[in-house]
Amino acid sequence: MSASVTECTNLLGLPRPALEAYVAQLGSKPFRARQLMNWIYKRGAGSFADMTDLAKELRARLTAAAEVRAPQIVSVQRSADGTRKWLLKADAAQAFEMVFIPEPDRGTLCISSQVGCALDCSFCATAQQGFNRNLSTAEIVGQVWLAARELEREEQQRLGAGAPTAPAAPGDERHVTNVVLMGMGEPLANFRNVVPALDILLDDFGFDLSRRRVTLSTSGLVPQIYRLAEETNVALAVSLHAPDDALRNELVPINRKHPIAQLLQACWHYLDEGNGRSVTFEYVMLDGVNDSPAQARALARLLKGHPAKVNLIPFNTFPGTRYRCSSVSAIQRFRDELLQRGLLATIRRTRGDDIDAACGQLAGRVIDRTTVRLGNKLIGVAVQP
């Protein structure tokens, strides 16, 4: 992964071994890479001139050959509940989104892995945009780096260093403590760029996040789950949304290639490799579609006896959708059916829906797109090895 010193290299895209190789090409010792990571990720520095414990000669070489470049902000929206949504520039025509959700005990950043998505889940706004391209490692890591800087800037303004910002809800965390790959795109379809990004998020000299505070959500690319088990140990979330193959084929078309039994086998293997204590199964609540007590009981039978959590997600509407959210009573009844059968089940609190930042609402701006519908060609087109 080392880069030529004649190119302008974005250091945000380099995990520690690659960064060590890069600084070696510049004639410096490997420990300089650790210093660089400390400046970039711990202190949020974007200018080599600010990295005062680096030798002047190295700073000069870095200035000439490298950069720290995050995605460019196109717009920012703030929800009444404190949620922020950033629209970020991918190129002249394309844009993708990330969302920060402040809560009393954590600050969760939801990041994207692709511009659009090719998996065509019928209840998801992102899927309706089509697919343009994978995000690079630098673009994935750059979202976290950018959000940390923006939140720090807001905090300084709030404390009086500049114009005041709207106060957050009492007790809400104002910094990134958790990162979830649940934004635009299917992370495992961009495996080559996502895994190095995860390395940087977990690295002691990177963002130094606990593996339990980084969650990758997948629609169910089974071969990539097996590969992921060998590469990392972040928390795993799976978009299940149905207790049987017939319905999941309709809601999550990748199920036609990797049915539920194969998917669950891959999930239990992921845990067997020491990658966490449970898998979270996401289940969007769709009125009259997947929310009956009988379906809850079927879901409980499917997961019973395994280390599983179920996160029930009230459906968030978007233009053109044919679905409606289940009633509050139906969602609570579904949860109670699961709890009575020994499954841990929670109901996700909807955040940011007034700015279309809630789960399933991210759409970005995917203009130059390749609309891919599920079929035998999907894996060859959409999944990057």
285-306 pLDDT, tens digit per residue, is: 999 999 999 999 999 999 999 9
pLDDT of amino acid 1? 46
Q: Is the pLDDT of residue 379 over 50?
A: no
pLDDT digit string, tens, across residues 164-180? 444 445 446 689 999 99
- Cβ 98 vs Cβ 88: under 8 Å: yes
What is the C-alpha to C-alpha distance for residues 111 and 223, in angstroms, rounded to an integer?
23
Which CATH class name applies to 9-67?
mainly alpha
Q: In the chain, what percentage of residues exceed pLDDT 90?
A: 70
Cite the beta strand spans of 32-188 per DSSP E.
Answer: 66-67, 72-78, 84-89, 95-103, 106-110, 114-116, 131-134, 178-181
Residues 326-347 pLDDT 10s: 999 999 999 999 999 999 999 9
Give the residue range(s) of CATH 3.20.20.70 domains in the chain: 72-382
Averaged pLDDT, 262-278: 93
Between 355 and 33, where is the model more confident? 33
User: What three-state secondary structure class fits 382?
Assistant: helix
Give the list of residues 6+ apart from residue 24 with CB closer than 8 angstroms, or none.
30
**Residue 365's pLDDT band (boundaries 50, 70, 90)?**
low
CA max distance for the chain: 69
Three-state secondary-structure class, residue 231? helix
Is the pLDDT assigned to residue 75 strictly greater than 80?
A: yes
Annotated catalytic residue 97? yes
Least confident of 152-156, 180-184, 203-207, 306-310: 152-156
- Tokens standing for 338? 């699961």
Residue 328 in tokens: 């509050």
Check whether 2 has a pLDDT greater than 50: no
- The three-point CA angle 278-284-288 to 5° equals 135
Tell me the one-letter amino acid at 359. C
Rounded to two decimals, the pTM is 0.88
- 283 versus 8: the higher-pLDDT residue is 283
Catalytic annotation, pick one of 97, 103, 173, 282: 97
CATH 1.10.150.530 domain position(s) in the chain:
9-67
Scanning the structure block, which residue is given the tokens 């799976």? 238
Q: Is 117 annotated as catalytic?
A: no
pLDDT of residue 167: 47
How is 14-28 classified by DSSP, letter by letter? --HHHHHHHHHHTT-
Q: What pLDDT, on a 0 to 100 scale, did the predictor assign at position 6? A: 53
Architecture of domain 72-382: Alpha-Beta Barrel (3.20)
**Of 110, 267, 325, 359, which is the active-site residue?**
359
- Residue 371 pLDDT exceeds 70: no
Asked whether the beta carbons of 14 and 1 are under 8 A apart, the reply is yes
- End-to-end Cα, the chain, rounded Å: 15
Average pLDDT, the chain: 87
* Calpha distance 25→33 (Å, rounded): 12
Residue type, 352: G
